[in-house]
Structure 1
Amino acid sequence: MKLEDEVRHNSEDIDDAVLGDVVLALHRRVKVSHDFDIPYIAGYSKDGGRIYIDRHLPRTMQWKGRTVRLAPFLLTHEVVEKSLLDELKLHYLHAHQIALRIERDAVKAAGLAWRAYQSVMKQNEKPIDEEYLKKVPGDLDVTPYRDLKDYSTLDRLIKAEQARG
């Protein structure tokens, strides 16, 4: 698809439809995998070409009688975060804050309540963070865990990698 074809809506103001175009454009640029155990719910490959979403996270949520896919919002967060880390060399906490705000706005632009979306994430966050890591991608970028000095998670990832290989 041509770059100009991705822009279906046009506005100089903050516009939900334009943000929807952005989410779709980001989705076209990376592959998504739901096949692994990923601490912090989601992550990215070292080269940024693949977004990993924990295999135990539900793929959808119910909202006002409709089924909503979660991946587009997580993917948006992860792509923005990874880009800020790699291109601008931001610390993870700063990149995460910006990505979280964009994720929030994408959720709202899709007509969902942020609180409802966050409720699904929070219900799954602790079980995912505490799960035994059986399947970890070999190219998972560990910058978030390193920048946060989350040595216990880094240790779990290393042990899972060693058991795999």
Structure 2
Amino acid sequence: MKLENEVRHKSEDVDDDVLADVVTALERRVTVSHEFDIPYIAGYSVDAKTIYIDRHLPRTIGREGVDVRLAPFLVTHEVVEKALLDELRLHYLHAHQIALRAERDAVRGAGLTWRDYQAVMKAHEKQIDEETLKRVPGDLDLTPYRDLDDFPVLERLIKTAR
């Protein structure tokens, strides 16, 4: 697809429709997998071509009787975070903060409240972080776990990925 074809809406102001175009464009550039156990809910491959979303996370959130997919928001977060880590060599915590804001704005731009979205994430976060890892992708980027000195999770990931 040509880049100009991805720009369906134009505005130099902060605009939800333009952001929706960005979210769609980001999702087109990666493969999304829901097949693995991913501590911290989602992650990315070392080569940035695959976004992994934990297999136990629901795929949708209900809004006014309509199911809204969660993947586009998580993809936005993970792609932004990975780009900042790889291209600008930011520390994970800094990249994560910027990515979290992009994710939040994408959620709000889609008409969801950040509070409702976070309620879904928080309801599954502990369960996902504490689960026994059974399936871990061999190419999962471990930078977040290393930068946070989360050695217990890092050790579990490495052990399971073998």
Same fold per superposition (TM over 0.5): yes
Q: Does 1:23 align with 2:23?
A: yes
Give the equivalent residue in structure 2 for 1:65: 65
Task: Please identify, of 69-78 and 152-161, the stretch whose mean Cα deviation from structure 2 is larger.
Answer: 152-161
SS at match of 1:4: helix
SS at match of 1:68: strand
Report the AA paired with residue 59 of structure 1: R
C-alpha distance in 1 between matches for 2:75 and 2:28: 11
- Displacement of 1:159: 1.5
Report the AA paired with residue 57 of structure 1: L
- Displacement of 1:66: 1.1
SS at match of 2:161: helix
C-alpha distance in 1 between matches for 2:161 and 2:46: 15
Q: Matched residue pairs, number?
A: 162
Report the AA paired with residue 16 of structure 1: D
The unaligned stretches of length 5 or more in structure 1 are none
Equivalent residue runs for 1:14-93 within 5 Å? 14-93=14-93
C-alpha distance in 2 between matches for 1:28 and 1:67: 20
C-alpha distance in 2 between matches for 1:56 and 1:38: 9
SS at match of 2:98: helix
C-alpha distance in 1 between matches for 2:127 and 2:63: 22
C-alpha distance in 2 between matches for 1:90 and 1:103: 18
The unaligned stretches of length 5 or more in structure 2 are none
Give the equivalent residue in structure 2 for 1:100: 100
Give the equivalent residue in structure 2 for 1:160: 160
C-alpha distance in 2 between matches for 1:77 and 1:46: 16
Give the equivalent residue in structure 2 for 1:136: 136
SS at match of 2:146: helix
Report the AA paired with residue 96 of structure 1: H
Report the AA paired with residue 154 of structure 1: L
Report the AA paired with residue 155 of structure 1: E
Q: Give the superposed CA RMSD.
A: 0.5
TM-score, length-scaled by structure 1? 0.97
Give the equivalent residue in structure 1 for 2:112: 112
SS at match of 1:99: helix
Give the equivalent residue in structure 1 for 2:147: 147
- Displacement of 1:64: 1.8
Q: Any idea what the Cα deviations from partners look like across 1:12-34, whole Å, max 9, x if unmatched?
A: 00000000000000011000000
SS at match of 1:95: helix
C-alpha distance in 1 between matches for 2:55 and 2:126: 14
Give the equivalent residue in structure 2 for 1:8: 8
C-alpha distance in 2 between matches for 1:35 and 1:147: 25
Aligned-pair identity (%): 74
C-alpha distance in 1 between matches for 2:32 and 2:113: 24
Report the AA paired with residue 97 of structure 1: Q
Question: Where in structure 1 do 4 or more consecutive aligned residues deviate above 3 Å?
Answer: none
